[in-house]
Amino acid sequence: MDGVGIHEVVIGSPIHNQLFPLNEDKQVEEVLLAYRERYLALREDPRIKLIIIFKNHGEAAGTSLEHTHSQIVGTAVVPSNIRKKLDEAARYYDDHGRCVYCDSIQEELHFKKRIVMDTERFVVLQPFASRVPFETWIIPKEHQASFGSISVEDSKRFAKVLKETLFRFYSKLNDPAYNFVIHTSPIKDEGEDYYHWHLQIIPRLTTTAGFEMGSGIYINVSFPEETAQFLREG
Amino acid sequence: MDGVGIHEVVIGSPIHNQLFPLNEDKQVEEVLLAYRERYLALREDPRIKLIIIFKNHGEAAGTSLEHTHSQIVGTAVVPSNIRKKLDEAARYYDDHGRCVYCDSIQEELHFKKRIVMDTERFVVLQPFASRVPFETWIIPKEHQASFGSISVEDSKRFAKVLKETLFRFYSKLNDPAYNFVIHTSPIKDEGEDYYHWHLQIIPRLTTTAGFEMGSGIYINVSFPEETAQFLREG
């Protein structure tokens, strides 16, 4: 493996102190369209195996710059953590003949209590086994393994849903530090039936400590059913 | 699996504001002897599969109490992260017929540059692929898969080495927040030749962010050869 990789920074606003969810809709759309455009460009580079798009907001989330921004990294390897996620999804597919994310969306929409927002194309939910309080995922309802499959129209819808979700964090949780990460398939697996891209928001309201480090088990003191309700209610 | 587990708190000093490495030697010895005693007691409980001993120091390390303390958790499962570590160690053993930790100790002692301290029974080193600046491990030189195999005499020696290492963190890095965790084999694997218990100190000088979450790859801006030298020099 070469020590090669790609790192790009997407500036989220021309205004220095602007918080991302307080941007105009149009501005957030442009950020999401930039993600899409850069994804599609970077995936053509044969050295790049996986593209990770993420944002760090606030000091507790490890941000290094105040001006709202997000980052795109192309790695020359598929990291073992990601490979494990894919393997588990493939195993479910082999057992059931269906995508585990598609199945989860159906179950969650039926159960309702962990849903934060339900729109035509995207669902916002808090996972059954949330690692941290208020962990929140945005998932496209249509099966797509890769973020690179998102259309221009859906990018705009995604922007709207992301902005609204982050605005609720901002207004209801007093502008918490958070990271968001788009989990998408490695480039060579973009056509797979078993994986399904999604965006994870991890608010940094708590701190992982020795137990998490020593076990990989997360202590979460809150119920996603309750925190989802809190974000759901207007 | 039952929802059973064990959680104990070890108070590190009778003095409220005492920092752990500023304790008398005798006091630190008693903490380590308590770890050993409780490990040996908890391992008799057939519901417990793994015992994790750890300490969180400082707010950035997720500590919840000011008074110096550490914690012992017995889990009813072997978490998948730990199982993966064991599997990798077993694979090395199968390939080479030797413990990967024993081999690493020999290589590190030969290379010298990542050694913080070398004593008769324990070596303090910074791993080749340190995840964070100043990540430091204390490893017994004798092959022992389980912390439960430590003798009373070695517990006292271990206390001395741990105290000295943490004192160097305290004095040279201005009392940083840190976690330490004892990684030891699951109880059923205590006699295995492929695993080797050790203590990991993870200083919280930096914050993991979206890239680490999205990839499991750690960005470390420092070289262990340089940080080990910094801690080594008196």
Which residue in the set A73, A208, A216 is minimally distant from B79, CB to CB? A216
Q: What helix, strand, coil percent values describe chain B, rounded to 5? A: 40, 20, 40
pLDDT over 70 at A218, yes or no = yes
- pLDDT, residue B1, reads 57
Q: Nearest CA to CA, how far is A71 from chain B (Å)?
A: 9
* pLDDT tier at A233, thresholds 50, 70, 90: confident
Report the amino acid identity of residue B151.
Answer: S
Q: Nearest CA to CA, how far is B207 from chain A (Å)?
A: 5
pLDDT over 80 at A176, yes or no = yes
Using a CB-CB cut-off of 8 Å, the residues of chain A touching B207 are 59-62
Phi and psi at A151, nearest 5°, equal -85, 170
DSSP bridge partners of A74: A6, A51
Residue with the bigger pLDDT between A107 and B4: it is: A107
- pLDDT, residue A3, reads 75
Q: Which residues of A are catalytic?
A: 69
Q: How far apart are CA A26 and CA A48, in angstroms?
A: 30
Q: How far apart are CA A55 and CA A201, in angstroms?
A: 9
Which residue in the set A55, A59, A62 is minimally distant from B208, CB to CB? A62
pLDDT over 60 at B186, yes or no = yes
- pLDDT, residue B157, reads 98
ipTM: 0.88
Contact A75/B50, CB-based, under 8 Å? no
Q: Which residue of A has its CA nearest to B179?
A: A210
pLDDT digits (tens, 9 = 90+) for A94-147: 999 999 999 999 999 999 999 999 999 999 999 999 999 999 999 999 999 999
Query: Which one-letter DSSP state was computed for residue A219?
Result: P
Give mean pLDDT, residues B24-31: 96
Give mean pLDDT, residues A57-80: 92
- pLDDT, residue A234, reads 65
What SS3 class is residue B155? helix
- pLDDT, residue B118, reads 97
pLDDT over 90 at B66, yes or no = no
Any B CB within 8 A of A210 CB: yes
Which residue in the set A71, A202, A210 is minimally distant from B180, CB to CB? A210
Any A CB within 8 A of B68 CB: no
Give mean pLDDT, residues A50-67: 92
* Pick from A1-15, A64-78, B114-128, B151-165: least confident: A1-15
What SS3 class is residue B116? strand
Q: How far is CA B90 from CA A74, A122, B183, in A?
A: 32, 43, 15
Q: Across chain B, what does the average pLDDT equal? A: 95
pLDDT over 90 at B65, yes or no = no
Q: H/E element holding B230?
A: helix B224-232
Any B CB within 8 A of A65 CB: no
- pLDDT, residue B2, reads 66
- pLDDT, residue A66, reads 84
Any B CB within 8 A of A211 CB: yes
Give mean pLDDT, residues A44-62: 94
Q: What percent of chain B has pLDDT over 90?
A: 91
- pLDDT, residue B230, reads 97
- Sequence-separated (6 or more) residues with CB below 8 Å from residue A177: A57, A58, A59, A60, A61, A63, A203, A204
Token couple for A214? 């020593």
DSSP bridge partners of A75: A5, A50
B contact test, residue of A77, A179, A215 with most B CBs within 10 A: A215
- pLDDT, residue B234, reads 65
Using a CB-CB cut-off of 8 Å, the residues of chain A touching B215 are 50, 52, 73, 75, 79, 81-82
What SS3 class is residue B84? helix
pLDDT over 70 at A2, yes or no = no
Contact A180/B71, CB-based, under 8 Å? no
pLDDT over 60 at A10, yes or no = yes
- pLDDT, residue A1, reads 57
Contact A214/B52, CB-based, under 8 Å? yes
Token couple for A212? 């998490």
Give mean pLDDT, residues B113-140: 97
Give mean pLDDT, residues A47-56: 96
Give mean pLDDT, residues B135-145: 98
- Residue B138's region, left for phi above 0, alpha for psi from -120 to 50, else beta, is beta
- pLDDT, residue B64, reads 78
Q: Are strands B50-57 and B178-183 parallel, antiparallel or unpaired?
A: antiparallel
